[in-house]
Structure 1
Amino acid sequence: MYLNNFKLDSKSGFSLLELMAVVLLIAIVAMMTMPLLQEQIAAREIEAIARRFIAHAHFARQQALHLGQPVYLAPISSDQWEAGWIVKSGCIGKPAKPDCIEKPWFSQGSIDPVYFKGGGKQFIDPNSGKKGILFNAAGAAKTAQGGFVANRLILGHSRAPDLERQMILGSGGRWRICDPARDAKRCH
Protein backbone atom coordinates (compact mmCIF):
# COMPACT_ATOMS: atom_id res chain seq x y z
CA MET A 1 0.00 0.00 0.00
CA TYR A 2 2.74 2.47 0.93
CA LEU A 3 5.06 1.25 -1.77
CA ASN A 4 2.70 2.31 -4.50
CA ASN A 5 2.68 5.88 -3.20
CA PHE A 6 6.49 6.07 -2.95
CA LYS A 7 7.88 7.98 -5.87
CA LEU A 8 11.56 7.87 -6.82
CA ASP A 9 12.88 11.04 -8.41
CA SER A 10 16.15 12.89 -8.86
CA LYS A 11 15.68 14.77 -5.57
CA SER A 12 15.81 11.68 -3.29
CA GLY A 13 19.15 10.25 -2.06
CA PHE A 14 22.61 11.82 -2.05
CA SER A 15 24.70 13.01 -4.91
CA LEU A 16 28.22 11.68 -5.46
CA LEU A 17 29.65 15.05 -4.43
CA GLU A 18 27.80 14.96 -1.09
CA LEU A 19 29.01 11.41 -0.39
CA MET A 20 32.60 12.40 -1.22
CA ALA A 21 32.35 15.39 1.14
CA VAL A 22 31.18 13.13 4.00
CA VAL A 23 33.99 10.65 3.34
CA LEU A 24 36.50 13.52 3.31
CA LEU A 25 35.23 14.82 6.65
CA ILE A 26 35.46 11.35 8.19
CA ALA A 27 39.03 11.00 6.90
CA ILE A 28 40.03 14.39 8.36
CA VAL A 29 38.57 13.51 11.77
CA ALA A 30 40.33 10.12 11.70
CA MET A 31 43.68 11.76 10.86
CA MET A 32 43.26 14.25 13.71
CA THR A 33 42.53 11.54 16.29
CA MET A 34 45.26 9.11 15.15
CA PRO A 35 48.09 10.59 17.32
CA LEU A 36 45.88 10.45 20.41
CA LEU A 37 44.98 6.85 19.65
CA GLN A 38 48.66 5.95 19.15
CA GLU A 39 49.52 7.52 22.51
CA GLN A 40 46.74 5.62 24.28
CA ILE A 41 47.91 2.34 22.77
CA ALA A 42 51.50 3.10 23.83
CA ALA A 43 50.35 3.96 27.38
CA ARG A 44 48.50 0.64 27.63
CA GLU A 45 51.55 -1.27 26.39
CA ILE A 46 53.76 0.44 28.99
CA GLU A 47 51.27 -0.28 31.77
CA ALA A 48 50.99 -3.93 30.73
CA ILE A 49 54.77 -4.37 30.93
CA ALA A 50 54.85 -2.55 34.29
CA ARG A 51 52.13 -4.81 35.71
CA ARG A 52 53.95 -7.90 34.40
CA PHE A 53 57.23 -6.77 35.99
CA ILE A 54 55.50 -6.10 39.33
CA ALA A 55 53.72 -9.48 39.17
CA HIS A 56 57.10 -11.17 38.65
CA ALA A 57 58.54 -9.22 41.59
CA HIS A 58 55.61 -10.36 43.76
CA PHE A 59 56.23 -13.94 42.65
CA ALA A 60 59.94 -13.65 43.51
CA ARG A 61 59.09 -12.28 46.97
CA GLN A 62 56.54 -15.05 47.62
CA GLN A 63 59.03 -17.72 46.55
CA ALA A 64 61.65 -16.26 48.89
CA LEU A 65 59.16 -16.44 51.76
CA HIS A 66 58.03 -19.94 50.82
CA LEU A 67 61.49 -21.44 50.31
CA GLY A 68 63.22 -19.53 53.09
CA GLN A 69 66.09 -18.61 50.78
CA PRO A 70 66.97 -15.67 48.53
CA VAL A 71 65.22 -15.20 45.20
CA TYR A 72 66.54 -12.84 42.58
CA LEU A 73 64.79 -10.76 39.91
CA ALA A 74 67.48 -9.58 37.51
CA PRO A 75 68.10 -8.55 33.91
CA ILE A 76 68.67 -11.55 31.65
CA SER A 77 71.87 -10.27 30.11
CA SER A 78 74.39 -7.47 30.30
CA ASP A 79 72.60 -5.61 33.11
CA GLN A 80 70.03 -4.19 30.69
CA TRP A 81 66.38 -4.54 31.73
CA GLU A 82 65.24 -4.05 28.09
CA ALA A 83 66.56 -7.48 27.14
CA GLY A 84 64.15 -8.94 29.67
CA TRP A 85 64.46 -10.31 33.15
CA ILE A 86 64.58 -13.60 34.98
CA VAL A 87 63.28 -14.80 38.34
CA LYS A 88 65.53 -17.38 39.94
CA SER A 89 66.32 -18.78 43.33
CA GLY A 90 69.87 -18.59 44.05
CA CYS A 91 72.87 -19.19 46.05
CA ILE A 92 73.39 -15.48 46.31
CA GLY A 93 75.63 -13.94 48.89
CA LYS A 94 78.62 -15.16 50.83
CA PRO A 95 78.96 -17.95 51.70
CA ALA A 96 76.40 -19.92 49.71
CA LYS A 97 74.47 -22.53 51.66
CA PRO A 98 75.49 -26.08 50.76
CA ASP A 99 71.85 -27.09 50.16
CA CYS A 100 71.16 -24.07 47.96
CA ILE A 101 70.43 -24.95 44.33
CA GLU A 102 70.04 -22.19 41.76
CA LYS A 103 66.76 -22.65 39.95
CA PRO A 104 65.33 -20.35 37.26
CA TRP A 105 61.52 -20.26 37.31
CA PHE A 106 60.66 -18.07 34.37
CA SER A 107 61.84 -15.11 32.40
CA GLN A 108 60.47 -12.27 30.32
CA GLY A 109 62.09 -11.70 26.94
CA SER A 110 62.51 -8.45 25.06
CA ILE A 111 59.82 -5.86 25.74
CA ASP A 112 60.21 -3.86 22.51
CA PRO A 113 58.77 -1.21 21.75
CA VAL A 114 58.67 -0.48 25.51
CA TYR A 115 62.04 0.31 27.06
CA PHE A 116 63.54 1.30 30.39
CA LYS A 117 64.53 4.96 30.44
CA GLY A 118 67.48 6.29 32.34
CA GLY A 119 66.77 7.85 35.68
CA GLY A 120 65.98 6.26 38.98
CA LYS A 121 68.54 3.97 40.49
CA GLN A 122 67.28 1.02 38.42
CA PHE A 123 67.88 -1.32 41.37
CA ILE A 124 71.65 -1.12 41.08
CA ASP A 125 73.47 -2.62 44.06
CA PRO A 126 75.77 0.19 45.29
CA ASN A 127 78.42 -2.34 46.33
CA SER A 128 78.59 -4.63 43.32
CA GLY A 129 77.18 -2.30 40.62
CA LYS A 130 74.88 -5.08 39.37
CA LYS A 131 71.22 -4.53 38.57
CA GLY A 132 68.57 -6.67 40.17
CA ILE A 133 66.32 -7.13 43.18
CA LEU A 134 67.25 -9.71 45.80
CA PHE A 135 64.39 -10.83 48.02
CA ASN A 136 65.76 -12.37 51.20
CA ALA A 137 64.19 -15.26 53.13
CA ALA A 138 62.02 -12.74 55.03
CA GLY A 139 60.69 -11.36 51.71
CA ALA A 140 62.43 -8.00 51.99
CA ALA A 141 64.10 -6.41 48.96
CA LYS A 142 67.76 -6.11 49.88
CA THR A 143 71.13 -5.50 48.30
CA ALA A 144 73.73 -8.25 48.38
CA GLN A 145 75.27 -6.48 51.39
CA GLY A 146 71.94 -6.40 53.26
CA GLY A 147 70.86 -2.78 52.71
CA PHE A 148 67.24 -2.00 51.92
CA VAL A 149 66.30 -1.28 48.32
CA ALA A 150 63.70 1.46 47.80
CA ASN A 151 63.95 2.27 44.16
CA ARG A 152 62.28 2.95 40.83
CA LEU A 153 62.37 1.96 37.20
CA ILE A 154 61.14 4.30 34.49
CA LEU A 155 59.45 2.89 31.39
CA GLY A 156 59.14 4.67 28.04
CA HIS A 157 57.78 3.83 24.59
CA SER A 158 59.55 4.19 21.25
CA ARG A 159 56.41 5.49 19.46
CA ALA A 160 55.62 8.07 22.18
CA PRO A 161 58.96 9.46 23.48
CA ASP A 162 57.37 11.90 25.94
CA LEU A 163 55.29 9.17 27.59
CA GLU A 164 56.59 7.48 30.72
CA ARG A 165 55.49 5.45 33.71
CA GLN A 166 57.48 4.91 36.88
CA MET A 167 57.44 1.66 38.83
CA ILE A 168 58.27 2.53 42.40
CA LEU A 169 59.11 0.10 45.19
CA GLY A 170 58.48 1.79 48.52
CA SER A 171 60.19 1.11 51.82
CA GLY A 172 57.31 -1.10 52.99
CA GLY A 173 57.67 -3.36 49.94
CA ARG A 174 54.65 -1.95 48.16
CA TRP A 175 54.81 -1.30 44.40
CA ARG A 176 53.00 1.46 42.56
CA ILE A 177 52.84 2.62 38.96
CA CYS A 178 53.06 6.36 38.66
CA ASP A 179 52.28 8.65 35.71
CA PRO A 180 54.42 11.80 36.20
CA ALA A 181 52.29 13.78 33.73
CA ARG A 182 49.19 13.34 35.92
CA ASP A 183 50.42 12.96 39.48
CA ALA A 184 53.87 14.51 39.77
CA LYS A 185 53.66 14.78 43.57
CA ARG A 186 53.16 11.03 44.02
CA CYS A 187 56.04 10.18 41.70
CA HIS A 188 58.71 11.88 43.80
Structure 2
Amino acid sequence: MFYVPGRWLRRAGLVPPAASGLVPAPELAARAAALDTLDAVQAWLHAAVAELGAGLAAAETGPGPTAAEHQVLAGLRAAVTAGETRVAALAQRCGIGRRRLHQVLVRWTGTSPSDYLRQARLHQARQRLDAGESLAEVAAACGFADQAHFTRWFRRAFGYTPGDWLQAGR
Protein backbone atom coordinates (compact mmCIF):
# COMPACT_ATOMS: atom_id res chain seq x y z
CA MET A 1 0.00 0.00 0.00
CA PHE A 2 1.38 3.36 -0.96
CA TYR A 3 -0.23 6.61 0.18
CA VAL A 4 0.44 9.73 -1.87
CA PRO A 5 -0.61 13.03 -0.24
CA GLY A 6 -2.70 15.30 -2.46
CA ARG A 7 -0.16 18.11 -2.19
CA TRP A 8 2.49 15.84 -3.77
CA LEU A 9 0.20 15.13 -6.69
CA ARG A 10 -0.57 18.84 -7.11
CA ARG A 11 3.14 19.69 -6.98
CA ALA A 12 3.71 17.15 -9.77
CA GLY A 13 0.97 18.87 -11.82
CA LEU A 14 -1.56 16.09 -11.22
CA VAL A 15 -5.09 16.39 -9.91
CA PRO A 16 -5.68 14.45 -6.67
CA PRO A 17 -8.60 12.00 -6.80
CA ALA A 18 -11.88 12.99 -5.18
CA ALA A 19 -11.83 9.78 -3.14
CA SER A 20 -9.41 7.01 -2.25
CA GLY A 21 -8.27 4.94 -5.15
CA LEU A 22 -6.51 1.68 -5.73
CA VAL A 23 -3.97 1.42 -8.52
CA PRO A 24 -2.41 -1.98 -9.11
CA ALA A 25 1.28 -1.37 -9.83
CA PRO A 26 3.26 -4.61 -9.40
CA GLU A 27 6.14 -3.37 -11.59
CA LEU A 28 6.46 -0.26 -9.45
CA ALA A 29 6.53 -2.38 -6.29
CA ALA A 30 9.15 -4.70 -7.81
CA ARG A 31 11.39 -1.73 -8.64
CA ALA A 32 11.03 -0.49 -5.04
CA ALA A 33 12.46 -3.73 -3.68
CA ALA A 34 15.82 -2.99 -5.31
CA LEU A 35 16.27 0.54 -3.91
CA ASP A 36 19.47 0.93 -1.92
CA THR A 37 20.38 4.65 -1.86
CA LEU A 38 18.59 7.86 -0.99
CA ASP A 39 19.00 9.14 -4.55
CA ALA A 40 17.45 5.93 -5.92
CA VAL A 41 14.52 6.27 -3.50
CA GLN A 42 13.91 9.89 -4.53
CA ALA A 43 14.04 9.02 -8.23
CA TRP A 44 11.64 6.10 -7.62
CA LEU A 45 9.24 8.36 -5.68
CA HIS A 46 9.12 10.90 -8.52
CA ALA A 47 8.36 8.12 -11.02
CA ALA A 48 5.85 6.52 -8.63
CA VAL A 49 3.90 9.74 -8.13
CA ALA A 50 3.56 10.20 -11.89
CA GLU A 51 2.58 6.55 -12.51
CA LEU A 52 0.10 6.37 -9.64
CA GLY A 53 -1.38 9.77 -10.53
CA ALA A 54 -1.95 8.63 -14.09
CA GLY A 55 -3.51 5.40 -12.82
CA LEU A 56 -5.84 7.28 -10.47
CA ALA A 57 -6.84 9.71 -13.22
CA ALA A 58 -7.68 6.79 -15.50
CA ALA A 59 -9.66 5.13 -12.70
CA GLU A 60 -11.64 8.33 -12.05
CA THR A 61 -12.77 8.62 -15.65
CA GLY A 62 -14.18 5.10 -15.39
CA PRO A 63 -17.73 4.38 -14.31
CA GLY A 64 -18.89 5.48 -10.87
CA PRO A 65 -20.77 3.32 -8.40
CA THR A 66 -23.61 1.30 -9.87
CA ALA A 67 -27.15 1.80 -8.60
CA ALA A 68 -26.75 -1.31 -6.45
CA GLU A 69 -23.48 0.02 -5.00
CA HIS A 70 -25.13 3.38 -4.27
CA GLN A 71 -27.86 1.48 -2.43
CA VAL A 72 -25.24 -0.46 -0.42
CA LEU A 73 -23.34 2.72 0.48
CA ALA A 74 -26.58 4.47 1.52
CA GLY A 75 -27.59 1.44 3.60
CA LEU A 76 -24.16 1.41 5.17
CA ARG A 77 -24.42 5.05 6.23
CA ALA A 78 -27.91 4.46 7.64
CA ALA A 79 -26.80 1.39 9.59
CA VAL A 80 -23.77 3.16 11.04
CA THR A 81 -25.90 6.17 11.97
CA ALA A 82 -28.33 3.79 13.69
CA GLY A 83 -25.44 2.49 15.82
CA GLU A 84 -24.60 -0.82 14.16
CA THR A 85 -21.24 -2.13 15.42
CA ARG A 86 -20.87 -5.55 13.75
CA VAL A 87 -19.83 -6.20 10.14
CA ALA A 88 -22.14 -9.22 9.74
CA ALA A 89 -25.15 -7.22 10.92
CA LEU A 90 -24.11 -4.34 8.68
CA ALA A 91 -24.03 -6.62 5.62
CA GLN A 92 -27.40 -8.09 6.59
CA ARG A 93 -28.95 -4.61 6.91
CA CYS A 94 -27.56 -3.73 3.47
CA GLY A 95 -29.05 -6.95 2.05
CA ILE A 96 -25.72 -8.39 0.85
CA GLY A 97 -23.04 -10.79 2.02
CA ARG A 98 -19.95 -9.80 3.98
CA ARG A 99 -17.72 -10.42 0.97
CA ARG A 100 -19.75 -8.13 -1.30
CA LEU A 101 -19.82 -5.46 1.42
CA HIS A 102 -16.04 -5.70 1.65
CA GLN A 103 -15.68 -5.36 -2.14
CA VAL A 104 -17.92 -2.29 -2.35
CA LEU A 105 -16.34 -0.54 0.64
CA VAL A 106 -12.75 -1.14 -0.44
CA ARG A 107 -13.54 0.02 -3.96
CA TRP A 108 -15.35 3.23 -3.00
CA THR A 109 -13.88 4.20 0.38
CA GLY A 110 -10.49 2.48 0.35
CA THR A 111 -11.13 0.82 3.70
CA SER A 112 -12.45 -2.51 4.98
CA PRO A 113 -15.86 -2.77 6.69
CA SER A 114 -14.29 -3.32 10.13
CA ASP A 115 -12.01 -0.29 9.72
CA TYR A 116 -14.94 1.78 8.44
CA LEU A 117 -17.06 0.81 11.45
CA ARG A 118 -14.21 1.48 13.88
CA GLN A 119 -13.65 4.94 12.39
CA ALA A 120 -17.35 5.72 12.61
CA ARG A 121 -17.48 4.53 16.23
CA LEU A 122 -14.43 6.63 17.12
CA HIS A 123 -15.93 9.76 15.58
CA GLN A 124 -19.18 9.07 17.43
CA ALA A 125 -17.14 8.63 20.64
CA ARG A 126 -15.49 11.99 20.15
CA GLN A 127 -18.91 13.62 19.77
CA ARG A 128 -20.14 11.90 22.94
CA LEU A 129 -17.06 13.06 24.85
CA ASP A 130 -17.77 16.61 23.68
CA ALA A 131 -21.32 16.20 24.99
CA GLY A 132 -19.93 15.50 28.47
CA GLU A 133 -20.28 11.71 28.77
CA SER A 134 -17.66 9.85 30.82
CA LEU A 135 -14.96 7.76 29.19
CA ALA A 136 -16.43 4.50 30.49
CA GLU A 137 -19.92 5.39 29.21
CA VAL A 138 -18.56 6.36 25.81
CA ALA A 139 -16.45 3.21 25.50
CA ALA A 140 -19.42 0.98 26.29
CA ALA A 141 -21.90 2.92 24.13
CA CYS A 142 -19.57 2.87 21.12
CA GLY A 143 -18.98 -0.88 21.28
CA PHE A 144 -15.48 -1.09 22.74
CA ALA A 145 -14.66 -3.95 25.10
CA ASP A 146 -13.40 -1.65 27.83
CA GLN A 147 -11.96 1.79 28.44
CA ALA A 148 -8.36 0.70 27.75
CA HIS A 149 -9.33 -0.80 24.39
CA PHE A 150 -11.19 2.40 23.51
CA THR A 151 -8.24 4.58 24.53
CA ARG A 152 -5.83 2.51 22.44
CA TRP A 153 -7.93 2.86 19.27
CA PHE A 154 -8.69 6.53 19.94
CA ARG A 155 -4.97 7.29 20.16
CA ARG A 156 -4.24 5.33 16.96
CA ALA A 157 -6.96 7.16 15.07
CA PHE A 158 -6.45 10.72 16.29
CA GLY A 159 -2.92 10.83 17.71
CA TYR A 160 -4.00 11.72 21.25
CA THR A 161 -5.90 10.05 24.08
CA PRO A 162 -9.52 10.74 24.98
CA GLY A 163 -8.25 12.35 28.20
CA ASP A 164 -6.06 14.72 26.15
CA TRP A 165 -9.10 15.53 23.99
CA LEU A 166 -11.21 16.34 27.04
CA GLN A 167 -8.48 18.43 28.65
CA ALA A 168 -7.95 20.43 25.41
CA GLY A 169 -11.71 21.09 25.28
CA ARG A 170 -11.75 22.60 28.77
- Which TM-score bucket, shorter chain as reference? under 0.3
Structure with greater proportional helix content = 2
**Between structures 1 and 2, the one with greater strand share:** 1
Q: TM-score, normalised by structure 2?
A: 0.22
The structure whose Rg is larger is 1
